[in-house]
């Protein structure tokens, strides 16, 4: 099994950008350390790009646009299919890379982070092979055309997954791209760029520039030759990108923060409804924008729910992400570790009743960015821990008295990304789901569907990813009147 760092070092990729089909030396002189969160040691140093690197990458993408957009859709689909196959072949190395740079348990990287990333590429292929770029409405043709050069800004929590969720539909649409991955988890993007080349993506169609928000993100946002920005990140980052992009009136798609509810209906089978809810809230150590971290439960069943929650938390094993049997590894970076510790203290100060976990590291872990899965009960909706995105393994249990109250609590947030509803009677769960203001609602823990559009209401952003809607995001609409003869 090839070590990803050894591989990247051997081919001399860590200190280079992929621009115009060539691996080039960056223009800037700044570097940033990549830290293994399980050991808090430096494992690599990456260069941070600047506006000059962005100019070069955007120019390469612009030059490649005409040729790529003119390729037959089936040709583009064939290339993406090869990319997915190559990702399958290198899945173990990709998983190891994610474990080293962002702390995911290796088992989770192997069963979720990498397979779901591959699923986005395969889904883009499936959509593309069936997509009609020209449709008829009377004598008018409705033509879908690639929007152009797209800048993609991706986060550190699901780094490869978010790269493929953006790159695959953008390339499928016929766009050319400049990718800025998170500087906190950048190495998987280098492995992905290598696979892009091997899959036969033409030079300049995909460009990779490493860097931070001020140096590269802003330069992409204000660039006059960038037609669209797609960002996944915090609401704060999404607002900054939208403001920077406003002067050039480019399209901005944002997948931002969340504080997702999990509404347990009065008729729910608690033994079936509660443990998966704990697992969903704690997946990826809570570092998921759509994690259902507010469990809203009937007050009459609060004690029973608490007992089930505590037992479910005991099933979680936090430790070295490379060790067998570990289900949850380390928090991805120091800033997020500190944020989680701060918010646990806030919950205690607010008077929420802590029934599991607490501040500090788990027993036996004296170093590394490890946190204790924590649950607060008797949480009120006006508490900070119920309103602010913690982005860690912290679950809030909020009791309600009537179903109307429960729905109101579910909607009592500035966000609207994801939501869950649990109940024995599907008709009632459907009706409740329709009343929740969120872009994606899960009824009774369904299987992952890569074709289901994903995106938010309100401060969770705008635009959609995944499936047909994910492809549409990268297309312009042109109506051509008189295109078809009158009958």
Residues of the chain with CATH 3.40.309.10: 261-450
| Residue 131 CB coordination number (10 Å) | 17
Which residues in the chain are classed under CATH 3.40.605.10? 4-256+461-479
The model scores a pTM over 0.85: yes
pLDDT for 12 equals 73
Instruction: State the Cα–Cα distance between residues 379 and 395, nearest whole angstrom.
Output: 10
pLDDT given for residue 8 in this prediction:
82
Predicted pLDDT at 98: 98
Catalytic residue among 194, 255, 389, 465: 255
DSSP state of 394: E
Whether 194 is a known active-site residue: answer: no
Single out the residue of 95, 173, 67, 83 nearest to residue 119, CA to CA: 83
Q: What are the pLDDT tens digits along the chain (487 aa)?
A: 678 888 887 777 899 999 999 999 999 889 999 999 999 999 999 999 999 999 999 999 999 999 999 999 999 999 999 999 999 999 999 999 999 999 999 999 999 999 999 999 999 999 999 999 999 999 999 999 999 999 999 999 999 999 999 999 999 999 999 999 999 999 999 999 999 999 999 999 999 999 999 999 999 999 999 999 999 999 999 999 999 999 999 999 999 999 999 999 999 999 999 999 999 999 999 999 999 999 999 999 999 999 999 999 999 999 999 999 999 999 999 999 999 999 999 999 999 999 999 999 999 999 999 999 999 999 999 999 999 999 999 999 999 999 999 999 999 999 999 999 999 999 999 999 999 999 999 999 999 999 999 999 999 999 999 999 999 999 999 999 999 998 7
pLDDT of residue 1: 63
Cβ-contact 198, 40 below 8 angstroms: no
Q: Could you tell me which CATH number the domain at 4-256+461-479 has? A: 3.40.605.10
From residue 155, how far is each of 122, 139, 234, 255 by CA, in Å? Answer: 21, 44, 9, 10
Q: Given 175, 289, 396, 465, which residue is catalytic? A: 289
What pLDDT is stored for residue 7 in this prediction?
Answer: 84
289 is annotated as an active-site residue: yes
Report pLDDT for 444: 98
**CA dist., res. 228 & res. 149, Å (int):** 7
For 261-450, CATH number out of 1.10.10.60, 2.70.70.10, 3.40.309.10, 3.30.420.40 equals 3.40.309.10
């Amino acid at each position: 099994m090839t070590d990803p760092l050894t591989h990247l070092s051997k081919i001399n990729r860590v200190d280079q950008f992929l621009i115009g089909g060539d691996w080039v030396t960056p223009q800037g002189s700044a570097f940033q350390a990549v830290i293994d969160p399980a050991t808090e040691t430096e494992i690599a140093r990456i260069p941070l790009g600047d506006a000059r690197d962005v100019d070069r990458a955007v120019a390469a993408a612009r030059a490649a646009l005409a040729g790529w957009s003119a390729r037959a859709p089936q040709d583009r689909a064939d290339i993406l299919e090869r990319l997915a196959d190559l990702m399958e072949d290198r899945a173990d190395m990709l998983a190891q890379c994610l474990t080293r740079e962002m702390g995911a348990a290796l088992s989770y990287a192997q069963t979720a982070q990498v397979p779901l990333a591959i699923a986005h590429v395969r889904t883009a292929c499936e959509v593309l092979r069936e997509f009609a770029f020209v449709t008829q409405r009377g004598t008018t043709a409705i033509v879908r055309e690639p929007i152009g050069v797209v800048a993609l800004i991706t986060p550190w929590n699901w780094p490869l997954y978010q790269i493929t969720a953006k790159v695959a539909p953008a390339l499928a649409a016929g766009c050319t791209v400049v990718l800025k991955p998170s500087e906190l988890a950048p190495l998987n993007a280098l492995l992905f760029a290598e696979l892009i080349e091997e899959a036969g993506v033409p030079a300049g169609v995909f460009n990779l520039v490493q860097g931070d928000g001020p140096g590269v993100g802003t330069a992409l946002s204000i660039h006059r030759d960038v037609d669209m920005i797609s960002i996944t990140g915090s609401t704060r980052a999404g607002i900054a990108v939208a403001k920077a992009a406003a002067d050039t009136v480019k399209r901005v798609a944002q997948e931002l923060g969340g504080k997702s509810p999990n509404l347990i209906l009065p008729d729910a089978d608690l033994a079936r409804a509660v443990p998966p809810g704990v697992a969903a809230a704690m997946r990826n150590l809570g570092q998921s924008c759509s994690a259902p971290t507010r469990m809203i439960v009937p007050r009459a069943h609060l004690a029973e729910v608490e007992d089930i929650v505590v037992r479910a938390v005991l099933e979680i094993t936090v430790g070295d992400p490379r060790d067998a049997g570990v289900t949850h590894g380390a928090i991805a970076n120091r800033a997020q570790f500190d944020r989680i510790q701060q918010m646990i203290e806030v919950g205690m100060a607010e008077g929420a009743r802590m029934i599991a976990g607490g501040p500090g590291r788990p027993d036996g872990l004296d170093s590394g960015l490890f946190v204790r899965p924590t649950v607060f009960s008797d949480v009120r909706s006006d508490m900070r821990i119920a309103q602010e995105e913690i982005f860690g393994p912290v679950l809030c249990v909020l009791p309600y008295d009537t179903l109307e109250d429960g729905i109101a609590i579910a909607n009592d947030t500035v966000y609207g990304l994801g939501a869950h509803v649990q109940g024995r009677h599907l008709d009632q769960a459907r009706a409740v789901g329709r009343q929740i203001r969120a872009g994606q609602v899960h009824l009774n823990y369904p299987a992952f569907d890569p074709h289901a559009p994903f995106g938010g209401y309100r401060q969770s952003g705008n635009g959609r990813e995944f499936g047909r809607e994910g492809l549409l995001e990268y297309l312009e609409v042109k109506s051509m009147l008189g295109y078809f003869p009158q009958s």
